[in-house]
Homo-oligomer: A and B are copies of this chain.
Amino acid sequence: MARTINKNVKQDILKSVEELVAKIGVNSISLGDIAKKCDISKGTLYYYYSSKDDIIFDIIVKHVKELEEEYLEWIERHKEDLTPERFLSVIFNKGVKLFDRAKMHIFLINECIKGNDILRDKFNELWFAWQKKLEVGVLQAFKDIEDAESFAYLLMLIIDGLAIQEVMQGKFIGDDKLIEVVKKIGEKQC
């Protein structure tokens, strides 16, 4: 019998899992939790996904795609007045935090490094694609930048670092100070 997959059910599942992952992490959610949240049976879950890993894979793709899309949208809206401050502000202050996905971000990374190479490679691929798009924004915001690629890379590191800070609820020095420091990199020097 050929399977006819109902897209709506799949999306329902993903949305529910996303919420659960963001709350309690990948390892802590059981398929029972997911089924209950979706108001479907565990059997149905297995009709749409062949394993728990399968679900997580889809979540990762969705997560990075959404981060990217929301970023691109923002850049598009502000392309006229893209000052370094505003650019860095959206990256830092609103970056992973804006989308309220810091926790999921870290949880997913953790899942990737537990041994699932396919998952990890997919995440890296998507992450790298985003970095390339970040470069475009960097060039727009910092006219005099010398090495936009390295700068974009640095921003990605900082985003990951901030995600960790966010989930760890560490002492944050404040956006203004952070922006002030990083801004210098893109500015002309003597």
Q: Which A residues are closer than 8 A to B by beta carbons?
A: 1, 24-25, 27-28, 39, 103, 106-107, 109-110, 112-115, 120, 123-124, 127-128, 147, 149-151, 153-154, 156-162, 164-165, 167-171, 173, 177-178, 180-182, 184-185, 187-190
CA distance A124 to B177 in the complex (A): 20
CB neighbours (8 Å) of A158 from chain B are 154, 157-158, 161
Closest-CB distance, A177 to chain B (whole angstroms): 4
Once the chains bind, are B114 and A164 in contact (CB under 8 Å)? Answer: no
A159, A169, A173: most-surrounded residue (chain B CB, <10 A): A173
- 18 residue pairs bridging A and B, Cβ less than 8 Å apart: A24-B115, A25-B113, A27-B114, A106-B106, A107-B113, A120-B168, A120-B169, A149-B173, A150-B177, A150-B178, A153-B173, A157-B161, A157-B165, A158-B161, A160-B165, A184-B184, A189-B189, A190-B190
